[in-house]
Structure formats: C-alpha cells, structure tokens
C-alpha cells in the first residue's frame, strides 16, 4: 500500500512539473505573421534556442499590382506614304537610278520585316512595324518608352492595361539615350512613384513589367540588380549615354520601354536591352536608370528635345592595363583623354591624363557612372570633381554648360 501511494504521488508531482514547463514555454500563441524581430518575445524565444531560424514567405504581389496598370502596350507602324518616301530616298541613292525607273511598286500592309513584293525591276517594298512597352508618367497621358520601339513609325497606338486603346502623338525623342515620349488624350491615368536609382544596390530585388513577344501582355518577371553603370556601346548614336542597371529579370523583345520597378513597386528604370547570342533572353537585361530618364523626359515634354549639359571631355574607363600604361596605381575611375576647348571641363581647368575619381562625393567606378551623373544634370549645375593628377588628389569645382 505504501509503495502504491509513492507511485501515485510521484506521478502527480511529475505531471505538475511537465505542465508548468509547458505553460512556461507556451506563454502566448505566436503566428508567423505576428512576429517582429525586435519584439521581446522573439528575442526571448531566440535566446532560449527554441527555434533555429524563421523563414518568412516572399511575395511581390503588391509591387506587381502597383506597377502593372501603369505599363502600356505600344504598336508602331510605318504608313504606306512614309514607306514610299523611304524607298524614293533609297532609289535616288541607287547607282543605277538614272537608268531605271521604279514606278510600279505595290504597297501592301505586312506585319514584319519581310518584303511584300519582289521583282527584278522593283526594289523591295515593305512597311516596317514593331511593338514594345511604355510607362505612364503623368495622369494627363504622357508615356515614356524607348526610341528604338518607334523611331521608324508615324502611326503609334497605345493600349492600356484595361484594354482601352489610343492613338499616340510623338512629343519628342532622344537617340543618344534611346528614350522617347508619347502623349495620349486621356486623364486620371495610373502612374508610378519614382525610386532613387542612385540608391539602388547590387542584390536588390526588382521586377520587369512589359509585353514580351507582342502577345504576352502585362507580364511580370523578378530578379535582382546584378550590376550598375554598364556601358555596352549598343546605342548607335554619337555622344550616346549608357549607364544601364543590369538585372537578371527575364526580358524579351516587346519588353523594351517597359518598367523596371523595385520591391515596393516604385519605378527604378526603363527596360531597354538584353545581352544575348540568340535574340532572346539569355540571362541578363539592362534598364536606363530613372534618375537619368526623368531629366530627359522633363526636357522633351517642356522643350521637345533633350537639353543636354556636357562636361566636354573624351574619357576612357580605367583598368589595370591602362593604369600600367600611364604609370598609375589607380584602376577605377575615368581617365580624361582629351578636353574640348571652351567646354565646362576646359573652363574648370581639367586636363588630359587627369583621372576622375568622384563627383560630389559619389565614386566614379566606370565611364557609365560619369555619363549618368552628367546626363541627369542641367546647365548651370556645379559639381565638385575629385581627380588624381600626377599622383595627387585634387578637388575641382566644375559648372556645366549646355
């Protein structure tokens, strides 16, 4: 009897200990959505090593919902009249033009780049067409896109995310940055808040929003910023400005002119190009930073063209080979090769062989960094330019002129 009583008491005592321990460790019902890393409860749990990790689900749905309504589908076409004029110009430049007459051309409508009529006596005639994307930048109907989407066109149609369709007017374009601005007759349109593209960092999440292949409209893809300030020499224009944001978000033909947004749905850049051996997405895409695009767009809307302020230098990107060649231990920055007479740089006293290291305290790691900073500036702006000259660091104030 005594032995049985001892077993009962031991069981009751052990149960009380177990119950107390359970209550201690389960003071409150915690759901993953309620956890805050700086809360006392999470710190208490972490300190007791009750959990080894907390993985929160990642979703870009909110950012996508913000961005998608502000991205439009653009179709650009060359009218028959413009196509005929283009052919006349080509004929006049033909070496045998004065010996032959090309009067029996038959203009036909065709979607693509293949000729519509072929004849031993006729030049190939076709109307150029293309498609791309654009971003609404004001409720009054201004849309930014890439110049290469519509540079050949005089008939432009914009389709909104809600399927409304508008004929668009070309306000202006700039070949040096591959940007163009359209206007549609609509009001109260959705727009995006602009991010500060200078503050974006390699590794940040981004979304690409556009209309790949002309028929996959309102497509959203995700990636990260994989590099900044890329200069690819792909804009075929004298004085081109290239300082692309490189990402691994999937972008294909038709995405050009669409939005690159951050994880908060703010506009970070304008998708422009892909690096590819096939013509299709192969891992990397490139966008014009919004800090650069915004200045150009403002100028086009106000003046009809990009009022560019220039530094007035020819530069080369520094690397180890160039550093050895000029006898320097600096391998980043931009080396000044030549200075234009009466330019901003000349008036400030910059010289060939100066290495530009920073502008207003922002490091210049590539030629693209310098191009982007100057391109996003206006005539009259003054910068403090840090240079290396003969091994000595100097700070030189430079005022930009148009």
What's the pLDDT tens digit per position in 69-99?
999 999 999 988 888 887 777 766 655 545 4
**271 lies in some domain:** yes
- How much is the pTM? 0.74
Looking at the structure, do residues 85 and 174 belong to the same domain, yes or no? yes
The answer on 84 and 169 residing in a single domain is yes
Catalytic site includes residue 204: no
Question: Mean of the pLDDT values across residues 262-269?
Answer: 97
Domain boundary residue among 269, 303, 337? 303
Task: Indicate if 384 and 331 belong to the same structural domain.
Answer: yes
What tens digit of pLDDT does each residue of 275-290 get? 888 877 888 999 999 9
Is 256 a residue of the active site? yes
Minimum mean pLDDT range among 45-54, 200-209, 324-333, 350-359:
45-54
> CATH number, domain at 225?
2.40.10.10
164 and 204 share one domain = no
The answer on 388 and 337 residing in a single domain is yes
With respect to residue 268, please indicate whether it lies within any of the assigned structural domains. Answer: yes
Flag whether pLDDT at 105 surpasses 50. no
- 21 is a domain residue: yes
- Is residue 117 flagged as an active site residue? no
- Domain total of the chain: 4
Catalytic residue, from 174, 178, 299, 354: name it.
178
Identify the CATH number of the domain in which residue 377 sits: 2.30.42.10
The pLDDT of residue 109 is above 80? no
Which of 256, 285, 386, 388 is flagged as catalytic? 256
Does some domain include residue 60? no
Q: Is pLDDT of 117 > 60? A: no
Domain holding 38, by residue range, is 2-47
C-beta atoms surrounding 343 within 10 Å: 17
* Catalytic site residue from 73, 133, 148, 366: 148
190 located within any domain:
no
Query: Which pLDDT score is estimated for 119?
Result: 37
């Amino acid at each position: 009897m005594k032995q049985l009583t001892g077993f009962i008491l031991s069981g009751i005592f052990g149960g009380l200990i177990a119950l107390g321990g359970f209550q201690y460790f389960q003071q409150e019902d915690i759901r993953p959505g309620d956890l805050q890393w700086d809360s006392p409860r999470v710190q208490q749990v972490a300190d007791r090593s009750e959990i080894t990790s907390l993985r929160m689900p990642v979703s870009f749905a909110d950012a996508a919902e913000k961005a998608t309504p502000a991205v439009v589908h653009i179709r650009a076409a060359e009218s028959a009249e413009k196509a005929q004029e283009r052919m006349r110009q080509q004929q006049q430049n033909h070496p045998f033009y004065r010996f032959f007459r090309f009067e029996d051309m038959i203009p036909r409508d065709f979607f693509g780049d293949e000729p519509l009529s072929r004849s031993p006596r006729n030049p190939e005639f076709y109307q150029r067409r293309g498609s791309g994307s654009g971003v609404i930048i004001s409720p009054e109907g201004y849309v930014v896109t890439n110049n290469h989407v519509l540079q050949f066109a005089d008939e432009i149609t914009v389709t909104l995310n809600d399927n409304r369709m508008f004929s668009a007017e070309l306000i202006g374009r700039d070949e040096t940055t591959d940007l163009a601005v359209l206007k549609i007759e609509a009001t109260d349109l959705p727009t995006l808040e602009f991010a500060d593209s200078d503050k974006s960092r390699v590794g940040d999440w981004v979304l690409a929003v556009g209309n790949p292949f002309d028929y996959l409209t309102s497509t959203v893809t995700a990636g990260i910023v994989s590099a900044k300030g890329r200069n690819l020499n792909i804009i075929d224009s004298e004085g081109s400005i290239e300082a692309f944001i490189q990402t691994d978000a999937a972008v294909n033909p038709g995405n050009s002119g669409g939005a690159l947004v951050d994880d908060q749905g703010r506009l970070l850049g304008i998708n422009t190009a892909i690096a590819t051996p096939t013509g299709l997405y192969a891992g990397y895409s490139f966008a014009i930073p919004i800090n650069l695009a915004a200045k150009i767009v403002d100028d086009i809307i106000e003046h009809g063209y990009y009022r560019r302020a220039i530094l007035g230098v020819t530069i080369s990107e520094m690397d180890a080979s160039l550093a050895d060649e000029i006898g320097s231990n600096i391998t980043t920055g931009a080396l000044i090769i030549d200075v234009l007479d009466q330019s901003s740089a000349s008036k400030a006293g910059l010289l060939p062989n100066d290495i530009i290291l920073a502008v207003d305290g922002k490091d210049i790691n590539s030629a693209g960094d310098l191009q982007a900073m100057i391109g996003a500036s206006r005539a009259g702006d003054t910068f403090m330019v840090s240079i290396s000259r003969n091994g000595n660091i100097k700070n030189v104030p430079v005022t930009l002129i148009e």
